[in-house]
Structure 1
Amino acid sequence: MRLQHSAAIWTDFPALVPMALYAEGITPDVSVQDRVVAYTERAAARLATASESDLPEIQAWRRAFSRMGLKPTQYRCASESLLRRFRKEGALPSLHPLIDLCNALSIAYAVPIAVFDVSRIAGSIEVRYAKGDETYLTFAGETEHPPAGEVVFADAEGRAHARRWTNRQSGLSAVRDETSNALIIAEALHETAEADLTDLLSTLTTELTTLWPLTPKSALLTPTSPAFTA
């Protein structure tokens, strides 16, 4: 399993800080409710004094989406969408303990976190500009073809596991009850991204090793060390 961002992405978005973590031995039979409550309370405290669109983490992604030619109020990064839903509904839906944990961390840190079932990925993921021949499976089971130039998470067989960078994941590699091995990716562009993702990585590692008997492998990626291999 290999993750990397293309040279063009690093060039066009020099402030990018990606975090990757690979974990084997995930099961659906653990409870994360107490942890979800703690992290959602942290998000609620931030939203009590500012809307999600005012947060520096979200503003940085809005600028990135504008640069990609996307309207930030039409296409939102995943963390903004989660924060918006949480602000309106007061809670997030429960899907799977790993997803519930990562969604809660996503709104606590206001950064998008993607979680992939590694068994559904062909060899590698590269975050790159689409060529136009990639395939993307929606959660409704429909196949789409991202246009050339859109940022996608593409595997070795040309399947897009996320569209519009951090906007929406694919139904193909979504975590399910049978998922055992997962790749978790967080990305940020704001001024304190490196410090915040270092803290997020430490927090996530602690949570995972407390909940499951596993030893994750992880890294922060940089332009000079852009690849993560598990």
Structure 2
Amino acid sequence: MPEITISSAIKKELPDFKIGVVLYHNIAVSESPQMLKGRTRFYQENLKIDLEKVSFNTINEIKETRDLFKRLGVDPSKYRPSSEALFRRIKKGNNIPSVHSAADLNNLFSLQYRIPVGIYDLDKIVGPVTIRMGEENEVYDAINGRSTNLKGKLISADQNGPFGSPIVDSRQTAVTEQTKNALQIFYLTPSLKEADGVKLIQSAASMFHQIHGGENKTLLIT
């Protein structure tokens, strides 16, 4: 199990910053089962109706995540949190396409909890993991097909450099149907109580287990 820590610079700026982590082992990723596809489609359809009536500014979790970005010096209007990007896509009437069971469930978690959630192939991560700010000349090829400059952005990094971000993740560590072990990161809102954060990630891990099998371990990191 990799050591996972939050940088002292982030903790100094955001004493209430915390993440939820789930480590999965011996999982089976596949095409999403019809149950998951149906649940995701139903959730997106209902969310689209709700978003016709409300502004993003009224959704507390999105507001908090945007504020978190601002406090770290990241412009959330230029570099949107991945959860907000999903909400905006649905508001425009564009459903989120199915990728595979792990990615689809990860997107559903992000919609349900209204926070950025990333999932990565654990076997492609080397050494300890640090949640920190991106440095000069740090870039990666993102899952959206673009080269992403990470300077000044909130990132996850191993000993080889950045592999994830609550904005967009790296293609290098993306989960595939060949993935057997995975790391999932939940960017929890600062106002969420630690006990509630633990319940959230345990609930998510339980649902992930129902579809993918294997074993899991949950951690709240502050």
| Aligned counterpart, 1:138 | 142
Q: Secondary structure at the match of 1:89?
A: coil
* Distance verdict in 2 for CA 1:92–1:150, change over 3 Å: closer
The answer to whether the 8 Å contact 1:57/1:190 transfers is: no
Cα distance in 1, alignment partners of residues 44 and 150 from structure 2: 33
| Aligned counterpart, 1:4 | 5
Query: C-alpha displacement at 1:172, in angstroms?
Result: 0.8
C-alpha distance after superposition, 1:48-87 (max 9, x if no partner): 5423342111111211222333322211111000111122
C-alpha distance after superposition, 1:197-216 (max 9, x if no partner): 33431321221221122121
Amino acid at match of 1:184: Q
| Aligned counterpart, 1:226 | none
| Aligned counterpart, 2:210 | 210
**Equivalent position to 1:71, from 46, 69, 75:** 75
* Distance verdict in 2 for CA 1:204–1:39, change over 3 Å: farther
* Distance verdict in 2 for CA 1:194–1:43, change over 3 Å: farther
Cα distance in 2, alignment partners of residues 196 and 38 from structure 1: 26
Cα distance in 2, alignment partners of residues 51 and 119 from structure 1: 40
| Aligned counterpart, 1:15 | 16
| Aligned counterpart, 1:188 | 188
Q: Is residue 169 of structure 2 the alignment partner of residue 153 of structure 1?
A: no
For structure 2, which runs of at least 5 residues remain unmatched after alignment? Answer: none
Q: Give the count of matched residue pairs.
A: 218
Q: Is residue 125 of structure 2 the alignment partner of residue 124 of structure 1?
A: no
The answer to whether the 8 Å contact 2:110/2:116 transfers is: yes
| Aligned counterpart, 1:86 | 90
Query: C-alpha displacement at 1:94, in angstroms?
Result: 0.5
The answer to whether the 8 Å contact 1:188/1:197 transfers is: yes
| Aligned counterpart, 1:105 | 109
* Distance verdict in 2 for CA 1:133–1:124, change over 3 Å: farther
What do you get for the CA RMSD once the two structures are aligned? 2.5
Q: Secondary structure at the match of 1:106?
A: helix
Q: Is residue 37 of structure 2 the alignment partner of residue 33 of structure 1?
A: yes
Cα distance in 2, alignment partners of residues 193 and 43 from structure 1: 25
* Distance verdict in 2 for CA 1:42–1:8, change over 3 Å: farther
Cα distance in 2, alignment partners of residues 166 and 92 from structure 1: 17
| Aligned counterpart, 2:175 | 175
The answer to whether the 8 Å contact 1:35/1:101 transfers is: no
Query: C-alpha displacement at 1:161, in angstroms?
Result: 0.9
The answer to whether the 8 Å contact 1:43/1:108 transfers is: no
Q: Percent identity?
A: 27
Which sits farther off after the overlay, 25-34 or 213-222? 25-34
The answer to whether the 8 Å contact 1:22/1:216 transfers is: yes
Query: C-alpha displacement at 1:90, in angstroms?
Result: 5.0
